[in-house]
Amino acid sequence: MPKLKAHLLPQIREIHLGKENEDGLELDGLPSITQVLFKANHIYFHNLLCINYMTYDVRRETDMINPQTEHRNIMLLVQDGSNHWFCYARVLAIYHANIVYTGPGSMDFSSCHIKFLWVRWLELVDLSAGWDACLLDKVRFVPMNRADAFGFVDPGDVLRSCHLVPVFAAGKLHIDGASFSRNAHDSEDWKQYYVNQ
C-alpha cells in the first residue's frame, strides 16, 4: 500500500505550504487534526471519477470509476520500494472538501480544494506472479480488523482502473452472504482475485 499519500494531513500541509518551504521551517511529523478545518463543515460526495491515462499503443483513454457499480477497482504505483510495482484498491467513495490549514507555517486562512478517495486495500497473495512469471497478480482484501484495511488516496496517484476476476476455485469469503460492513459491501467478496490489467 502506498505510504506517501495514505494519510490526508501531510498532503493538506504540503498544499498550503507549497512543495518547497520558503521560510525553512522544520515541520516534522503529522500536523494535528485540530490544525485542519473544513470550510462550512462540509465534505462533498461524488458519484463518478474520471481517470485519464495513456494506453500501451500511445492513445489517450478515460476510465470512469463509480463506487456503486462493479467498475470501482484501481491500481497505483507502489511508493515504498516493494518488490512489486503496483498496489490495488477498491474505491468506496469519492470526495472533495475545501480545507483550511491553521498549523505552523500557515500564512493565511484561505481554503484549498482537495480531492480524495476512500478505498479498501487489496494485498498480493503470490509475490512470484507478474510479468516475469507470465502470471496474473493474485490479490485478496486486507482483513477489516487490521488498521491498514482502509485508507485515503489522492486521485492524482491513480494510474487507471483494473478488473478483478474472482478465483472461483478458492470460494467466497462469506459462505452465508453475511456482511460485516455496509460501506465495504463485503457480502459478495471472494477469497482471492486475479488482476486483469
pLDDT tens track for 36-85: 888 888 999 999 999 998 888 889 999 999 999 989 999 998 877 677 78
Q: Which residues of 109-124 are buried (b: 16+ CB within 10 A; e: fewer)?
A: eebeebebbbbbbbeb
- Which of these, 31, 183, 35, lies nearest to 95 by C-alpha position? 183
pLDDT, average across residues 171-197? 79
More confident residue, 39 or 131: 39
Q: Which residues contact 54 (CB under 8 A, 6 or more apart)?
A: 60, 61
CATH code, 8-21+28-196:
2.30.30
Q: Where are the domains of the chain?
A: 8-21+28-196
**What is the three-class DSSP state of 141?**
strand
Least confident of 32-36, 125-129, 164-168: 32-36
Phi, psi of 186 (to 5 degrees): -85, 5
Overall pTM surpassing 0.85 (yes/no): no
- Indicate whether 197 pLDDT > 70: no
pLDDT, average across residues 117-142? 84
